[in-house]
Amino acid sequence: MRAYRTLVITLARSMLREPVGLFFTLIFPPLLVAILGTIFGNDPTPQFDGKGFVDATLPAMSSLVVAIMGILMLPVMQLQLRESGALARLRATPLKSWTYVAADVTVHFLVGMNGVVLALVVGMLVFGVQAQGSVLLVLVAGACGLIAFLALGYTLAAVYPSAAAATGIGNGVMIVLMITSGAFIPMEALPSGVRHATQFSPLRHLVELMQGLWAGHAWSDYGVATTVLLGMIVIFGALGARLFKWG
């Protein structure tokens, strides 16, 4: 446990030295809520079934943190540590690989959940958004999604050739996910053909789950989304563990 706690502190400090990454996980989502909410307002509109823009999109915008952590933050940080030789030096110690992974996941999980909460808080306090369902269940769904995307992140870290490649490819993937998930552009605003294609977006399933729970629907109504997220945890968790590289 001492090694785990020490690693958590060390990795947290390392992450704090990455201001760009922290901006996109802790500042960008609540800032996006504030900017888009100011531009579009939150008056009820027929386009969103009588809801305001922020009411209809708040959980979706908060889910962006989840994708950023898994697609960008974790792979880039892993590759930077690997390229600097830090992971190789850790391997030379008695430290178990699972201890390192547990500490790394803990840091990314805590930072990611803070970003989700901040986005929701801005929407609720600044724009008066109120959840029709359980906020706790929404956060649980966000946590499940975050674990799924972190598992994906470990797989990506194993296959990306460098931190620079992870940054470039990750940014491109994030743009696609933002467009095809409803996290940036509401699904109601997309053509029907595009909406069908977005079924292949893992972020869309998380968005649907979080938005549905926010609206007061039962978790059991989202069996497909739940299956996708659990499948990501199992499949990418196994792949990430299998492909994990110290150096």
Give CA 237 to chain center in angstroms: 16
And the tokens for 143? 């946590």
**Following DSSP, what letter does each residue of 27-43 receive, concatenated?**
IHHHHHHHHHHHHH---
Whole-angstrom Cα distance, residue 233 to residue 247? 24
Q: What single-letter DSSP state applies at residue 17?
A: T
Show the tokens assigned to 59: 């959980």
**For the chain, the helix, strand and coil percentages under 3-state DSSP, each to the nearest 5:** 80, 0, 20
Cα angle value 152/243/96 (rounded, 5°): 100
pLDDT 10s digits, 19-29: 777 787 788 88
> Residues 163-180: pLDDT tens digits?
999 999 999 999 888 888
Average pLDDT over residues 35-47: 84
Binned at pLDDT 50, 70 and 90, residue 186 comes out as: low
Higher-confidence residue of 98 and 136: namely 136
- Enumerate the domain spans of the chain: 1-243
Question: What's the pTM?
Answer: 0.92
Query: What's the CA gap between 92 and 88, in Å, rounded?
Result: 7
Percent of the chain's residues with pLDDT above 70: 97
Tokens, residue 185: 């552009």
**DSSP character string of 214-247:** HTT--GGGGHHHHHHHHHHHHHHHHHHHHH----
Q: What is the model's pLDDT at position 17? A: 78
Rounded distance between C-alpha atoms, residue 186 and residue 179, angstroms? 9
Mean residue pLDDT of the chain comes to 89
